Structure 1
């Protein structure tokens, strides 16, 4: 059972997003835990207990597409916004000058073994303009109350022609439309800014980011299996992981 406000209807919110041309749909959630609790034991949409501290190898495997892309870039300065426990930065070649920002004190202290970490809200962090060659926001923008202001801050810090990678759930995917409020990515109560593929494309374009391409990771991941495919026919239950649920945008800052 996904805990949602009584007024909320995902399909209606996504339709309104398309008509209004807003960039995201905000949702008020009941978050009764601290910023550190997110990194401790939790329960996934299927009711399985998980502890993120034990998931390093799986996490790095899950971001293999992003890492393949990063490894082809000329090393420079990288910033991982919402770097969590620092595992993406740990997988980046040491030829890069690595920086991260993380709001959780617990996670940021853990991540210091991999990079230069600032423990703060990203909007409070003051890096120089045009400082970074690569900025990554991997499944963090949906957790932000002010995603547009955070994006503007990141763009200011990115060099002209620099690369930005943004990954986030697609709340207007085929699976989201089919399952509505049973869409599994609504389960996380820290998902408070909901994007569609269309709205994210518009937001990036309107803020001088050129989208080189968009990836929808699924077929080469652990989620592509018969069990998840069978769940597609059970629309009265929590939706399965499926193609189009996640989207990753590879962008460049317009010179």
Structure 2
């Protein structure tokens, strides 16, 4: 399926997931020639605004404060951040955690190394031991994987029985996605290749042997909850704003 066809009728393709029992809509990527440089220089978001990853550390950590609150209830052990980027999540974890990260960007992996034991590569090329981790954090990574089921075979193997998986990804069947259609902002990231809905991700996790403990829809306590974004909901002819339900975070246990 081309990205153009998907943009033309997102709703129909997402509804097919319910009918066919498939887990995600697969679309071809748009190569990012500036992938490595983007970690250090200005990037452009779907609204055309310039952003600097390094300058957004505090904002990014504040956006996932609910994750840190949940982890206060979890006994310290070994944690793996899949797609750790510049290592912000690992840097904010308190003492007592054995910190590991995995990152495909060489530039980011080298920077993140100051915060933990970082592997430059993918889950499929990693060599982590069986039952090695108590927690795996996978924040906005699964939508970038062409065949998530292959990566989850690795996750099942390296996460301890009863271990915690924290998985965040966009909902491509959210209220905003349905309302704005082709103008849904998260469709315009060319690296998003596996598109899940809330329902299909529930099924994917269940069928891969995970028990869902909790689901969060972060928005109200994030930097994106602004009057400007709320007002933009009334104009569906422009790019959709960040809004409640666009992102979902699943807290799951590994039922081996």
Aligned partner of 1:28 in structure 2 is 28
- Summarize the alignment of residues 113-152 of structure 1 with structure 2, pairs less than 5 Å apart: 113-152=114-153
Cα deviation for residue 230 of structure 1 reads 1.1
Unpaired runs of 5+ residues, structure 2, are: none
1:65-84 CA distance string (max 9 Å, x none): 11111122110000010111
Question: 1: CA distance between counterparts of 2:107 and 2:176?
Answer: 34
TM-score (ref. length: structure 1): 0.95
Give 1:28 deviation, angstroms: 1.2
- State the match for 2:237 in structure 1: 236
* CA distance in 1: counterparts of 2:158 and 2:29, whole angstroms: 30
- Measured in 2, the distance between the counterparts of 1:135 and 1:35 equals 24
**SS across alignment from 1:166:** strand
- Say which of 5, 8, 15 aligns to 1:7: 5
Partner of 1:60: 61
* Residue in 2 that maps onto 1:77: 78
Output the CA distance in 2 between the equivalents of 1:116 and 1:165.
19
Matched, 1:159 2:182: no
Aligned equivalents of 1:254, 1:196: Cα separation in 2: 22
Aligned to 2:253: 252
Deviations 1:133-159 (CA, angstroms, capped at 9, x unpaired): 000100111111121111221111000
In structure 2, C-alpha distance between the alignment counterparts of 1:208 and 1:10, rounded to whole Å: 29
Q: Please give the alpha-carbon distance, in whole angstroms, between the structure 1 residues aligned to 2:34 and 2:95.
A: 32
Per the TM alignment, residue 34 of structure 1 is displaced from its structure 2 partner at its CA by 5.0
Bigger mean CA offset, 9-18 vs 123-132: 9-18
Q: Distance in 2 between matches of 1:6 and 1:134?
A: 38
Equivalent pairs counted in the alignment come to: 252
Q: Relative to structure 1, is the Cα distance of residues 38 and 27 closer, same or farther in structure 2, using a 3 angstrom cutoff? A: farther
Aligned 8 A contact 2:218 2:248 in 1: yes
Where in structure 1 are there 5+ consecutive unaligned residues? none
Q: Deviations over 1:188-222 (max 9, x none)?
A: 11111101000100000001100001000111222
Question: 1:48 maps to what in 2?
Answer: 49
Is 2:214 the counterpart of 1:213? yes
Cα offset, 1:44, TM superposition: 0.9
Q: Which residue of structure 1 aligns with residue 228 of structure 2?
A: 227
Q: Paired residue for 2:180?
A: 179
Tell me, yes or no, if the aligned pair for 1:71 and 1:92 is still in contact at 8 Å.
no
3-state SS of 2:234 partner: coil
**CA-to-partner distance for each residue in 1:104-152, whole Å, 9 max, x for gaps?**
0000000000000000122110111111000010011111112111122
Task: Determine helix, strand or coil for the equivalent of 1:230.
Answer: helix
Asked if the contact 2:101/2:116 (under 8 Å) is kept, the reply is yes
**TM-score, length-scaled by structure 2:** 0.95
Does the CA contact (< 8 Å) of 1:136 and 1:164 recur in 2?
Answer: yes
What is the rounded CA distance, in whole Å, between the counterparts of 2:72 and 2:84 in structure 1? Answer: 18
